Amino acid sequence: MKITIIGTGYVGLVTGTCFAEVGHKVICVDCDAAKIKLLQEGGVPIYEPGLEELIQKNAASGRLAFRTSTREGVEQSDVIFIAVPTPPLPDGSVDLSFMEGVARDIADAMTSYKIVVDKSTVPVKTGEKVSETIRRYCKSRVEVDVVSNPEFLREGFAVEDFLKPDRVVIGVRSQRPVTALREIYAPFNCPIIVTDIHSAELIKHAANSFLALKISYINAISVLCEASGANVQEVANGIGMDHRIGRAFLDASLGFGGSCFPKDLSAFIKISEQLGYDFGLLKEVQKINAQQMDRFFKKIVDTLWVLKEKTVGVLGLAFKQNTDDIRMSPAMELCHRLRKEGAILRVHDPQAMEKAKAVLPNVTYVSDMNSVADGCDALVVATEWPQFKKLDLDRVRKVMTHPIMFDGRNMFDLEEMERLGFIYKSIGRQCQS
Ligand code: UGA
């Protein structure tokens, strides 16, 4: 199939690259000329494992091209995917101006029937609006089918998730575009669910909100674990082995972040409100998440007392492992709070330090994770990078002024930390001895 993807963010770039990888001919369009130039020269604007190799391979084979012109993309393709940002407005609702703008650009360039597929996360009924907009602005009066095809990839595992999806959801207003969409996704060998367009749009917000709810649920349980002496990891394993519950997304933490869950929760609450329903459950999910950060920060303050001029090492800046993305990162939030209290910070992240430098000045960026602890009064683990598990704990303890560690990701073994002589405070667990 000939496919155009408009928008080369995490979703658009991964989608375009993976479609090319399975044999489709893809044009990725973005209005950011500098980004397109970088991509044309073989560079990648984001860190995502495996992506760079796939882009280079598919660009070299001629199946993947990068352009700034929507017109060119629309003229040369049968199916056009929209993967533009849908950022939050101050009241929590979704800014759909990029969607509207792209719909108008597509309409302007269309001279024959096209299938327009929305991949961005949007409020239910957006597809209807996109369809109306294209029909209104298309001078050549050709037919269009608008489809909703929400994306479920996770940053840090984006290529893997895209190539091996649990399911593909296709939401349509008529059966006409279904054959083409099935053909596009046939190489992925996964279940394809065809629904009405409203359901497909709702599935995305419902899925993300449910995952966020799972995290807040286990974080609430972690509070009970701390109060009772239980261990949240044991509880998560115990409930997660029930296949109706599942173990995934039951890792207690200092809270979830990123560009999706916080934004999508606010949007879903707002959408529900507009549909006449007060989604109080999701408000509680948000509240628990905010409290989790407060509780973690309080643990640090309670232990160190005055933070002013104390040296604190922070491991992790990205909002999660395997990414350089610091948007709405709990780790960054923590750093800002520590700085505000006057702490001197030594920070490290395997990928996110460059991005962090622009928004977190006056801290020491340390390139080696083991050296972060040098001279520190305390060390904080804020992101679940797997390599942090390989920290040379013996060395870390020796170089710290005080061997105090706050682990917001439950990375280390409680007994081992005690044996090594650390004062070790994690989430929802404590040493029994
Ligand atoms: C999330 C969804 O998982 C994807 O399915 C969805 O496609 C994506 O949003 C999106 O809407 O674009 P993502 O934000 O990339 O993906 O990252 P997640 O792996 O979901 O992690 C989100 C946050 O939750 C991170 O801060 C992570 O550290 C935290 N988390 C995750 C926990 O605190 N505990 C867990 O058990 C799992």
Pocket of ligand 1 (CB under 6 A): 121, 151-155, 208, 211, 215, 249-251, 253, 256-258, 260-261, 319-320, 384
The rounded Cα 171 to chain-centroid distance in angstroms is: 23
204 C-alpha to ligand 1 centroid (Å) = 13
Side-chain-side CA neighbours of residue 182 (13 Å) = 11
Q: Which of 419, 415, 313, 412 is nearest to 427 (CA)?
A: 412
Among 312, 300, 215, 201, which Cα is nearest to 258's? 215
Give, using CA atoms, the residue closest to atom 30 of ligand 1: 256
260 is catalytic: yes
For residue 402, report the distance from its CA to the centre of ligand 1, in Å. 33
C-alpha–C-alpha distance, residues 378 and 401, integer Å: 8
Measure 155 CA to ligand 1 centroid, in angstroms.
8
Q: Which of 28, 260, 335, 376 is catalytic?
A: 260
Instruction: Give nearest CA residue, ligand 1 atom 31.
Output: 249
Q: Identify the residue whose C-alpha is closest to ligand 1 atom 6.
A: 152
Q: Which residue among 154, 166, 263 has the greatest number of ligand 1 atoms within 8 angstroms of its CB, and so is best to mutate?
A: 154
Length of the chain: 433
CA 163 to chain centre: 17
Instruction: Specify burial of residue 71 (Cβ count, 10 A radius: 0-12, 13-18, 19+).
Output: middle
* Residues in CB range of 97: below 8 A, 6 or more apart: none
CA 247 vs. chain centroid, Å, equals 19
Q: Which atom of ligand 1 is nearest to the CA of 321?
A: 28
Q: Which two tokens stand for residue 346?
A: 């030594």
Nearest CA to ligand 1 atom 12: 260
Q: Which atom of ligand 1 is nearest to 264's Cα?
A: 11
Counting from 1 in the atom list of ligand 1, the atom nearest the Cα of 383 is: 28
Spell out the domains of the chain, with CATH numbers in brackets.
2-190 (3.40.50.720), 211-425 (3.40.50.720)
Q: How far apart are CA 295 and CA 131, in angstroms?
A: 46
Q: Taken in order 338, 341, 342, 343, is the CA torsion positive or negative?
A: negative
C-alpha 223 – ligand 1 centre gap (Å): 21
- Is the whole model's pTM more than 0.95, yes or no? yes
DSSP string for residues in 215-272:
HHHHHHHHHHHHHHT--HHHHHHHHHTSTTT-STT----S---SSSHHHHHHHHHHHH
Q: Which atom of ligand 1 is nearest to the CA of 323?
A: 15
For each of the chain's 433 residues, which pLDDT tens digit applies? 999 999 999 999 999 999 999 999 999 999 999 999 999 999 999 999 999 999 999 999 999 999 999 999 999 999 999 999 999 999 999 999 999 999 999 999 999 999 999 999 999 999 999 999 999 999 999 999 999 999 999 999 999 999 999 999 999 999 999 999 999 999 999 999 999 999 999 999 999 999 999 999 999 999 999 999 999 999 999 999 999 999 999 999 999 999 999 999 999 999 999 999 999 999 999 999 999 999 999 999 999 999 999 999 999 999 999 999 999 999 999 999 999 999 999 999 999 999 999 999 999 999 999 999 999 999 999 999 999 999 999 999 999 999 999 999 999 999 999 999 999 999 999 977 6
Measured in Å, residue 153 CA sits from the centre of ligand 1 at: 9
